[in-house]
Amino acid sequence: MDNSKAKMYGWSVVAASWLAVFCLFGYRATFAILKGPMSADLGWTQAQVTLGYSMMMVFYAITAFFAGMILDKWGTKPVYAIASIFGALGFWLTSMVHSHLAYLFTFGLIAGVATGMLWVTSTVSVRKWYVGKSYATMWGIAFAGAPMAQLVLAFVTKGALEDGGPDAWRSAMVILAIIMFVALVLAVLLAKKSPENYGMKAFGELPATAGSNAISEYNWGTKEAFSIYPIWAAIITFLAAMMGEFLIWTQVVSYWTADLGWDRGEAVNTYAMIGLIGIFSMPILGVVADKVVQKVGHEAKGRKIMLIIGPLTGVLACIFLLASSASITWAYVACFIFAIYWAIVPGGVVGYTGAIYGRKTLGKIWGLATLIVMGIGPFMGSFIGGLLKDISGSYTYSIYYALGSFVLAMVLASTLPLVAKHK
């Protein structure tokens, strides 16, 4: 394949991943806005509404494991195709629920299958095409679909809620279902298999250096990979960060409206700032991460440095979020810093894992890692956030909980090994 066509294929993979991430984070971004109206209309507590989201993350985690295996064997197209159907059904069927059990099935199970098909597939497909000095830059561009979803879909949802009555959240979900289906069908059309299927190599490989994982394309077995510390170091670091991150995403709008007395429109606009800033911070931080890798000349070491910095920004963001009770200015600062955190950690941990274990079997390795992380971290973070509110009557304690999670993630990141030795 000539170089221009190879580059076109690579950009096509990035575009498909952008659409997948847009849909994945569309579920997360809109939940923080929809859960209040849903609770009021259906008469459910915050814990009951948040349980649906927590269940979604459990099934997300389970599905991610199988998505990784499908990806390694058959590529991304079948995964995105399944996600397009379940992604549309998750919102559409939830728009019709009246019982809590039905809600747990539609938003918990069906939406969980859809979102579980998207994270591993988008991250790993980009990693299979871009490594070393190119991965973070290209993933930063693909991951910009997440803040774009937070920005665009926040306003789409807000507009639907303002135009309707107490059950306007149902109309909002129908609109979101259509958006999910169209975007993921486009992702299917753009998706490509691994570069080796087209007779080419991944872009951005670094020259082999002493101490680097020069045999990165070793065919790791799942049991062998999980019998050594590197993958567990990545898992526990990411898990701690996810507990804090998902608590913030699901509770911050309610914190501003319920605890600080903000108007809902003002809270949604402030929340959308994370998305607006993230559109630019993700590609920029991707370039910064790749510059760090080039500077140290060792990809695993460069990714480790960034994974220590990432949770530190989460700590700072929580501090400014707590200070927003004194001035809305600090809320804006918190949103800016959260956008930086967001640009570093989720993609960075995949980059670290890929640097340690290579690309060949990354799908199944990262799929199982996602099963563990997303089955615990987001569930615990989002549910504990709602539970602490129900117990204390305030969301402030939830913010402190998130802050502690980010501190733990920063400490754990410092233990990440720089090489993995196979038998």
Please state, in angstroms and rounded to a whole number, the distance separating the CA atoms of residues 186 and 350.
24
| Contact by Cβ (8 Å): 124, 363 | yes
In order of their start, the domains of the chain are 3-192+216-413 (1.20.1250.20)
Closest C-alpha among 109, 111, 116 to residue 90: 111
Looking at residue 194, the DSSP 8-state letter turns out to be -
| pTM (two decimals) | 0.79
Residue 203, strand partner residues: 130
DSSP string, 65-78: HHHHHHHHHH-SHH
Q: Which residue has the tokens 């909980």?
A: 401
**pLDDT tens per residue, the chain (423 residues)?**
567 888 899 999 999 999 999 999 898 778 878 888 998 899 988 788 888 988 898 898 889 888 888 888 888 999 999 999 999 999 999 999 999 999 999 999 999 999 999 988 998 899 889 988 888 899 999 989 988 887 888 788 888 888 777 888 999 999 999 999 999 999 999 999 888 888 888 888 776 554 444 444 678 888 999 999 999 999 999 999 988 988 887 788 888 988 888 887 888 788 778 878 888 888 999 999 999 999 998 999 999 999 999 999 999 999 999 998 888 899 999 999 998 998 899 889 989 998 999 887 888 898 889 888 877 877 778 778 778 888 888 888 889 999 999 999 999 999 999 988 876
